[in-house]
């Protein structure tokens, strides 16, 4: 298996990615608070040899916007669920190989707490932790942390740049071989291998050192999801995996070239950053079966929920005053996630969609790449993107959970494996090893020493 | 088993409570980063029907003070280990009944994050979470969170009072029966049963609501450890369990009367707050065997470590310039934990101890009640405290882990069970049920409605 291999992560919001998934007859509607449900999902993904499970996050209820916000929220399943770091810590105890990626914002957290929890998760899981750095797209978070308004987009990225450097500095507090634990001499660690950070910057003053040993992976895998200009630049400097929303092969290829092309100026080679677009696969044994499955979900979308979802994805713009069957109005610039908003407006104009048609078009994939088809059709498309410079793998976003993941792992994965595109056994133990990423050296240790150790 | 029952928690610092535990021949010196080690400990405590395992915490390295700080730190096992919330989340997946209590400071955290993580842990464990609220005794924490100096004692308690009210308000965001998940009508939750906090106070502005359902226990069990005047008052108003350091029966009785006597003014009855002193039991099949075990540990104490431990417990006062075999000098007032410092100074004066004798006397129990004896002697003492108004149970602090816990569960617990003082089977599923604490009603729901529901 010397051929280049796909990476596959499972994106696992409680009842599935489709906005009406919880209403599906097979859905476990209470999945957001059921550990048994999540253990089953993680074990399914592990049995299929996925690289990781991946949890989105927001430090606030994802409220709808406008007058109907509460009503639409009450008709969707996203208001309440497990917190990701606690959930992944528990999942670490019932899995052995699969990576565990949690989203945490840098905008409303402290780097010491974050560095510590991810280091601890990496130790609990023997090297399977990943951190998806976001700067918060949910406008409601600010008010849970003492601010009247969401921090401006540019300021969020400025803080994120410093935040990640502090976190990496804290993870390097201890050299890998600092702990001697020599019972005879009484020396627990070599004091020359402990490094105090003494960081003083624009946003943070953090003395350190971290009170967790250097993580088994050196650093947990660094994931990012921003596709704005500062988001791409931060990723080019620091990320090892990018989770991105791309709807067409051409767009995905352009994004791939763009981001990989930015690496050289930071002294990085292209293979040190893996680009994984989201894919929303509705899998059937035939294309017709897949279309029926998809239509059954679309029929369950409450218009109030669809409209609110669209408003939210347009940066909180209130669409409730506009006719559902009229065109999308002109929108002001937003402080939310910029890239997603631009993609949506572009789509509405290009395809001449009404507001209703637009929300129906996104209610499944929510801005990600949607394929409704047979397992072979989906495998073909995945292979095409993978082999034509559009992706190093995918974040698989099952329409329903556990059913949509079962469909993908039982029908699509075997085809990818037969074609030699995806592993049939794990060849390593850590998330880094699954992704083909090197273990970073400790910046306090000269590289020649590190290599010799 | 209608008789009043002891509560027993296991205090589980990585290699044990004795400062030299890690050097013991049987010690698992890397226990602080070994999930297997912790899973074994938690399962041992569960098999013995303990109420909970209990993790201390500090959001910084517990550095020694003075010039020799690093040298002493390097000779102790406390510098690096798992973070408690991640560790307990993982332990929730390999246990079924035992409670999971994590210490988290209110001084360097945000209430929204804390409320969320403990609610999530309570769901993961099906109602077994407890939060030990502290205001930080470790002076080093401040500098990891942008402050030059530790927050003053009075300000810490002022913040803690508001913090706990915000957290309880967030836990009440959702009524217990808010989630309908009615697939037919499309209504996921009853919007009238969602309550937005809108808290605006001196220290915090938190809008809410929480994005986790109301915890299975209503609130995770609220534990506190402060024994200062503001600490006792905060506990009397809000705590359900107090973890306290008491060295003599008379002191413990006085503390017990004092705190229980403060409850009435907050409208509480004495049984709603359980007082659990720490106990450091060195258990032998005979008293002689216990004394040998203890001496073996004492012989492993490095003087540098002992002196630094003592300095830290005296609020960071640097003792390195004073002769080890001379008396304790007069100490200035400290900003650290006040109660522990006063107890220690009192002990040194009362027993006319040198600095060395003082650190040897605390290196095991560290200010807690120390008993070195046969299992029967220890059971007798526990029974005496329990039946004479000094304790509702104990936080058992094994000298070594796992060995010291094995000794206590295999030798002492059966005696307590034979005497009808401690359960032989769990009679409930939640930590509240183990402790005999009521599930708090949601303050948005009139009590009559709550009772009828």
Q: What percent of chain A has pLDDT over 70?
A: 95
Question: What's the pLDDT at A275?
Answer: 98
* Residues of chain B neighbouring A296 (CB-CB closer than 8 A): none
A344-373 residues touching B, CB cutoff 8 A = none
Name the β-bridge partners of A370.
A280
Nearest CB among B25, B94, B187 relative to A74 is that of B187
Residue B400 tokens, joined:
């070594």
8 A C-beta contact, residue B331 and residue B349: no
**Alpha-carbon gap: B225 to the closest alpha carbon of chain A (Å):** 22
Question: What's the pLDDT at A430?
Answer: 98
| Residue in chain A nearest B72 by alpha carbon | A187
The DSSP code for B209 is: -
B174-193 residues touching A, CB cutoff 8 A = 174, 179, 181, 183, 186-191
CB atoms within 10 A of CB A446: 11
Beta pairing, strands A205-206 & A199-200: antiparallel
As a whole number of angstroms, the distance between CA B125 and CA A87 comes to 11
8 A C-beta contact, residue A174 and residue A210: yes
The DSSP code for A142 is: G
| Residue in chain A nearest B57 by alpha carbon | A211
The domain made up of A7-293+367-452 is a member of CATH 3.20.20.30: yes
- Name the strand (E) or helix (H) holding A69: helix A69-73
pLDDT in tens, chain A (453 residues): 468 999 999 999 999 999 999 999 999 999 999 999 999 999 999 999 999 999 999 999 976 444 457 888 999 999 999 999 999 999 999 999 999 999 999 999 999 999 999 999 999 999 999 999 999 877 789 999 998 888 888 899 999 999 999 999 999 999 999 999 999 999 999 999 999 999 999 999 999 999 999 999 999 999 999 788 999 999 999 999 999 999 899 999 999 999 999 999 999 999 999 999 999 999 999 999 999 999 999 999 999 999 988 988 887 788 888 999 999 998 876 555 556 788 788 889 999 999 999 999 888 888 789 999 999 999 999 999 999 999 999 999 999 999 999 999 999 999 999 999 999 999 999 999 999 999 999 999 987 655 444
Beta pairing, strands B179-182 & B241-244: unpaired
As a whole number of angstroms, the distance between CA A138 and CA B112 comes to 15
The answer to whether A70 contacts B194, with C-beta atoms less than 8 Å apart, is yes
Q: Is A85 on the interface with B (CB under 8 A)?
A: yes
The answer to whether B77 contacts A186, with C-beta atoms less than 8 Å apart, is no
The answer to whether A207 contacts B143, with C-beta atoms less than 8 Å apart, is yes
Task: Tell me what ipTM this predicted complex has.
Answer: 0.94
Query: Within its chain, how far is the Cα of B139 from the centroid?
Result: 19
A283-312 residues touching B, CB cutoff 8 A = 300, 302, 305
**Domain boundaries of chain B, sorted by first residue:** 7-287+366-452
**Alpha-carbon gap: B423 to the closest alpha carbon of chain A (Å):** 28
8 A C-beta contact, residue A63 and residue A20: no
| Residue in chain A nearest B118 by alpha carbon | A86
CB atoms within 10 A of CB A307: 25
As a whole number of angstroms, the distance between CA B90 and CA A124 comes to 8
As a whole number of angstroms, the distance between CA B136 and CA A176 comes to 29
8 A C-beta contact, residue B213 and residue A33: yes
Sequence-ordered list of residues with C-beta below 8 angstroms from that of A186, at least 6 positions apart, any chain: B23, B75, B300, B302, B305
Biggest CA-to-CA distance, chain A: 79
Angle in degrees, CA B58, B60, B64, rounded to 5: 95
Q: What are the backbone angles phi and psi of residue B72, rounded to the nearest 5°?
A: -70, -40
The domain made up of B7-287+366-452 is a member of CATH 3.40.50.720: no
As a whole number of angstroms, the distance between CA A381 and CA A378 comes to 5
**Alpha-carbon gap: A258 to the closest alpha carbon of chain B (Å):** 36
* Residues of chain B neighbouring A29 (CB-CB closer than 8 A): 181, 183, 188
**Which ranges of B151-269 does DSSP label H, i.e. alpha helix?**
153-171, 229-238, 249-262
Q: List C-alpha distances in Å: B132 to A289, A303, A422, B85, B307.
A: 53, 45, 46, 11, 28
pLDDT per residue as tens digits for the range B318-342? 888 899 999 999 887 655 555 678 8
Mean pLDDT across B117-137: 96
Identify the residue with better confidence: B384 or B449. Answer: B384
Q: Is B388 on the interface with A (CB under 8 A)?
A: no
Start-to-end CA distance of chain A, whole Å, equals 29
8 A C-beta contact, residue B134 and residue B225: yes
Residue A42 tokens, joined:
């993680």
Nearest CB among B30, B87, B189 relative to A181 is that of B30
As a whole number of angstroms, the distance between CA A152 and CA B67 comes to 45
Q: Please state, rounded to an integer, the average pLDDT across all residues of chain A.
A: 93
Per-residue pLDDT at B451 exceeds 60: no
Q: Is A204 on the interface with B (CB under 8 A)?
A: yes
- Residue identified by tokens 């040998």 is B292
pLDDT per residue as tens digits for the range B224-283? 997 889 999 999 999 999 999 998 999 999 999 999 999 999 999 999 999 999 999 999
Question: What's the pLDDT at B140?
Answer: 87
Q: List C-alpha distances in Å: B255 to B56, B279, B378.
A: 22, 15, 21
């Amino acid at each position: 298996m010397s051929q280049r291999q796909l990476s596959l992560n499972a994106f696992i919001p409680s009842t599935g990615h489709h906005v009406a998934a919880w209403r599906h007859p097979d859905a476990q509607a209470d999945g957001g608070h059921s550990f048994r449900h999540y253990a089953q999902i993680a074990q399914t993904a592990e049995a299929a040899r996925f690289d990781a499970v991946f949890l989105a996050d927001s430090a606030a209820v994802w409220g709808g916007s406008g007058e109907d916000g509460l009503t639409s929220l009450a008709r969707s399943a996203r208001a309440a669920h497990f917190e990701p770091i606690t959930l992944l810590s528990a999942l670490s105890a019932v899995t052995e190989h699969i990576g565990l990626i949690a989203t945490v914002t840098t905008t409303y957290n402290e780097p010491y707490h974050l560095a510590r929890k991810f280091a601890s998760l990496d130790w609990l899981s023997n090297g399977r932790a990943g951190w998806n750095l976001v700067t918060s797209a949910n406008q409601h978070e600010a008010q849970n942390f003492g601010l009247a308004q969401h921090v401006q987009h540019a300021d969020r990225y400025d803080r994120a740049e410093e935040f990640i450097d502090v976190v990496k500095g804290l993870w390097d507090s201890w050299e890998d071989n600092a702990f001697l634990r020599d019972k005879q001499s009484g020396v627990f660690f070599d004091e020359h291998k402990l490094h105090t950070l003494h960081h003083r910057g624009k946003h943070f003053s953090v003395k350190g050192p971290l009170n967790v040993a250097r993580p088994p992976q050196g650093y947990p895998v660094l994931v990012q999801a921003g596709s704005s200009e500062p988001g791409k630049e931060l990723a080019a400097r620091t990320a090892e995996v990018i989770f991105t929303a791309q709807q067409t092969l051409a767009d995905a290829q352009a994004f791939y070239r763009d981001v990989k092309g930015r690496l050289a100026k930071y002294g990085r080679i292209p293979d040190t950053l893996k680009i994984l677009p989201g894919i929303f696969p509705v899998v059937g044994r035939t294309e017709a079966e897949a279309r029926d499955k998809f239509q059954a979900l679309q029929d369950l979308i409450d218009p109030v929920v669809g409209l609110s979802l669209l408003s939210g994805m347009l940066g909180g713009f209130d669409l409730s005053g506009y006719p559902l069957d009229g065109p999308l109005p002109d929108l002001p610039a937003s402080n939310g996630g910029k890239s997603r908003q631009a993609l949506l407006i572009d789509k509405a104009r290009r395809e001449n969609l009404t507001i209703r048609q637009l929300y129906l078009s996104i209610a499944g994939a929510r801005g990600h790449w949607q394929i409704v088809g047979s397992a072979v059709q989906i495998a073909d498309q995945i292979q095409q993107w993978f082999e034509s410079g559009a992706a190093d793998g995918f974040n698989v976003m099952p329409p329903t959970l556990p059913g949509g993941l079962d469909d993908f792992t039982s029908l699509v994965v075997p085809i990818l494996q037969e074609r030699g595109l995806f592993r049939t056994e794990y060849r390593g133990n850590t998330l880094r090893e699954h992704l083909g990423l090197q273990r970073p050296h400790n910046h306090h240790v000269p590289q020649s020493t590190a290599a010799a150790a």
